[in-house]
């Protein structure tokens, strides 16, 4: 079973070697930057609380960022949701030492799942990478699920992404460079109707995950939506995968998800684990 404990130091040494060999794709969550004090929400729960300071939310939407955003979209406007998200994440979050380390490795694929754009900032000294962001289709009048951006923040294309040394995939969008956000229930209902057949996953991501394992850092899977997304992003990659996580905090559903996806938990404090990964 995936939740069988393994020696964390040995597993992290193997993961660090696999990173250097470009055989593992980092799957980054907000827990990495949340290790340092930040002035923006660094989890879905704190984002939901932030929404609650701006708009009176019904009980069913409190504590749930996606339901809160849906309430705002339904009773105000999508533009209000976008403006509030831009306000919530207006303060820059500096790249962590791990983000900066990953930026030096020439990795073919990095998945960055929060809205704050640290990986983009960490890669700023290079020009051989492309970012592909998930986008909402609300009001855009286009049959597309994602957009590509170059290091200068300008729109790019599939051909550029295929040539890039590193592809950064931000499946939920990002505050930079263009305020793209998947956040409301309606956003995710639309995506999840097709994600099983992989349409919302860019072809270039699907190509680059082949032959790769995934290393989950700073992520939780305590929500069905987060599990659904992770499941589809790592589809047809190579197991086993690894996740640095405190096993004492795992919910029953998280344990089942780790088992189902052959994700081995590395039970070590995240900060300590990141230091070891950087040291190699």
Q: What is the DSSP letter of 215?
A: E
In whole angstroms, give the CA distance from residue 47 to residue 88.
8
pLDDT of residue 144: 82
Class of domain 8-38+97-279: alpha beta
pLDDT of residue 142: 65
- Domain limits of the chain? 8-38+97-279, 41-88
Residue with tokens 């504590």: 63
pLDDT by residue, tens only, the chain of 280 residues: 455 557 888 989 998 999 999 999 999 999 999 999 999 999 999 999 999 999 999 999 999 999 999 999 999 999 999 999 999 999 999 999 999 999 999 999 999 999 999 999 999 999 999 999 999 986 665 678 899 999 999 999 999 999 999 999 999 999 999 999 999 999 998 888 887 788 899 999 999 999 999 999 999 999 999 999 899 999 999 999 999 999 999 999 999 999 999 999 999 999 999 999 998 7
pLDDT of residue 7: 87
In whole angstroms, give the CA distance from residue 155 to residue 131.
10
In whole angstroms, give the CA distance from residue 84 to residue 82.
5
The Cβ of residue 12 has, within 10 Å, a number of other Cβ atoms equal to: 23
């Amino acid at each position: 079973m995936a939740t069988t404990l393994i020696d964390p130091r040995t597993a992290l040494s193997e993961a660090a070697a696999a990173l250097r060999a470009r055989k593992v794709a980092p799957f980054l969550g907000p827990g990495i930057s949340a290790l340092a004090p930040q002035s923006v929400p660094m989890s879905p729960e704190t984002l939901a609380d932030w929404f609650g300071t701006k708009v009176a939310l019904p009980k069913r939407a409190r504590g749930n960022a996606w339901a809160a955003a849906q309430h705002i979209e339904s009773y105000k406007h999508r533009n209000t949701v976008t403006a509030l998200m831009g306000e919530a994440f207006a303060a820059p979050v500096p790249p962590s030492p791990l983000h900066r380390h990953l930026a030096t490795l020439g990795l073919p694929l990095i998945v960055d799942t929060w809205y704050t754009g640290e990986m983009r900032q960490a890669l700023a000294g290079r020009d051989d990478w492309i970012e592909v962001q998930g986008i909402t289709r609300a009001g855009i009048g286009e049959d597309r699920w994602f957009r590509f951006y170059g290091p200068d923040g300008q729109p790019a294309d599939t051909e550029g992404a295929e040539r890039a040394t590193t592809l950064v995939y931000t499946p939920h969008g990002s505050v930079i460079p263009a305020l793209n956000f998947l956040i409301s229930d309606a956003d995710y209902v639309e995506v999840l109707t097709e994600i099983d057949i992989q349409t919302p996953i860019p072809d270039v991501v699907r190509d680059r995950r082949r032959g790769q394992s995934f290393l989950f850092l700073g992520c939780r899977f305590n929500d069905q939506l987060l599990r659904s997304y992770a499941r589809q992003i790592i589809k047809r990659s190579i197991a086993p995968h690894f996740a640095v996580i405190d096993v004492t905090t795992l919910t029953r559903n998280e344990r089942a998800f780790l088992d189902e996806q052959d994700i081995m938990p590395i039970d070590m404090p995240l900060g300590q684990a990141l230091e070891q990964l950087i040291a190699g």
